[in-house]
Amino acid sequence: MKASYKKMVKMAMTTVMAGGIMMMGQSAMAAPAQPQVHVDSATKDMPGHVASKVLDVKADKTEVGLISNVVYEQVPSRGYANVPMQMDILQPKTKEKKPAILFVTGGGFINANKDNGIQLRMHLAENGYVVGSINYRVAPTAKFPEPLEDVKAAIRYLKANADRFGIDPARVGIVGGSAGGYLTAMAGTTSGTKTFDKGENLQVTSDVKAAVDLYGLSDLTQVGADFSEEVQAKHRSAGATEALWVNGSPVFGGRDGGILADKQAAEAANPIHYISKTSAPMLLMHGTADTVVSPSQTDLLYQALQKSGIPSERYLVTGAAHGGKYWVQEPVLKIITDFFDQYLKK
């Protein structure tokens, strides 16, 4: 009886061990072995073989891919019922969901070239952000708030397609320069509201967690305030692009006159008008040599944000003009990236 019991135990142990070995074998088979590379084996024994230099590289830089001309909405424009508005997307090639930043180009309210800002966009992408750059409707064939509606539609598009582009929809920011800085400020101050949300993907919000306004406009009635009286007079003229932005073209049903022709409409196009407790934290930067948009434009907005208790910072960049090489230098790019990191990564 005892001998029989011992024999049964021994057989059971053997079966368990065999099963374990089989499982280990299956596990080993599940993980494919790294293929071996016998470097230069076909040439190393050649007569007079010359050795190559060896470069050891630390692979710590993120690879970035480009997805071009993604249609984020279709809108009526320039006599057409459906005009596609497009976005280029820089996508870091990593597996985890990443925060996203929308870049809004400038263009004096009359152009919107999404090819602009490539160095800033690439810098942000290399630091772990999915970055979209858009075109949008412009004056004189469009007027406020239509371009802002486009910007908000682009934010919603990124959120609605978060899985497709590897985005965490809860972590979205926005950055822009000049007219794009103004639109960024508008998106930031109206964040947390449904103001100007129109069009597609309304099941998600156009809220942003952080906004960076580079030398943007804020009070369209004072764009030339830091310049000569001659320049200020030009900004008061009917031909000033800020007037076309707010009033439209009088030939096509818009209001004639300069930016002061309709003070109520000008006020409604001022980001300061929309500051509330839900407005996004904002970084503002302006060059001391800007002769296109008065540096006081960003200061007006900064003072209003501070007064309302909205987390905000403002930097004056010594010698920087309206755009140009100062804005692609490492100290400037670092301040912008650090600001986004503070609100989109931590």
Of the listed ranges 181-185, 250-254, 281-285, the least confidently predicted one is 250-254
What pLDDT does residue 250 have? Answer: 85
pLDDT tens per residue across span 244-266: 999 998 888 888 889 999 999 99
pLDDT tens per residue across span 312-334: 999 999 999 999 999 999 999 99
What pLDDT does residue 9 have? Answer: 45
Residue 19 has pLDDT above 60, yes or no: no
What are the strands of the beta sheet with 312-317, ordered from one edge?
Answer: 64-77, 80-92, 130-134, 98-104, 167-177, 210-214, 282-287, 312-317
Residue 97 has pLDDT above 70, yes or no: yes
What residues have CB less than 8 Å from 248, skipping those under 6 apart? 139, 140, 143, 254, 255
Q: How far apart are CA 194 and CA 203, in angstroms?
A: 11
Which region, left, alpha or beta, applies to residue 33 given φ > 0 means left and ψ of -120 to 50 means alpha? beta
Residue 13 has pLDDT above 70, yes or no: no
- Cα Rg of the chain (Å, integer): 29
What pLDDT does residue 4 have? Answer: 55
**Backbone φ, ψ for residue 69 (5° rounding):** 55, 45
Residue 11 has pLDDT above 60, yes or no: no
Size of the chain in residues: 346
What pLDDT does residue 249 have? Answer: 87
Of the listed ranges 83-92, 188-197, 252-261, the least confidently predicted one is 252-261
CA 67 to chain centroid, in Å, comes to 14
Of the listed ranges 15-29, 141-155, 184-198, the least confidently predicted one is 15-29
Q: How far apart are CA 166 and CA 129, in angstroms?
A: 10
Average pLDDT over residues 107-125: 98
Strands 210-214 and 167-177, bridge-based pairing: parallel
Average per-residue pLDDT in the chain? 92
pLDDT tens per residue across span 29-39: 566 788 999 99
Residue 92 has pLDDT above 90, yes or no: yes
What pLDDT does residue 78 have? Answer: 80
7 pLDDT tier (thresholds 50, 70, 90):
low
22 pLDDT tier (thresholds 50, 70, 90):
very low
Give the angle subtended at the CA of 333 by the CAs of 206 and 281, to the nearest 5°: 35
Tell me whether the omega of the peptide bond preceding residue 145 falls within 30 degrees of 0, making it cis: yes
Strands 130-134 and 210-214, bridge-based pairing: unpaired
What residues have CB less than 8 Å from 107, skipping those under 6 apart? 113, 116, 138, 178, 179, 180
Strands 312-317 and 282-287, bridge-based pairing: parallel
pLDDT tens per residue across span 164-175: 999 999 999 999
- Inter-residue contact 130 to 166 (CB < 8 Å): yes
Average pLDDT over residues 97-118: 98
Counting residues of the chain whose pLDDT is more than 70, the rounded percentage is 91
Average pLDDT over residues 212-232: 97
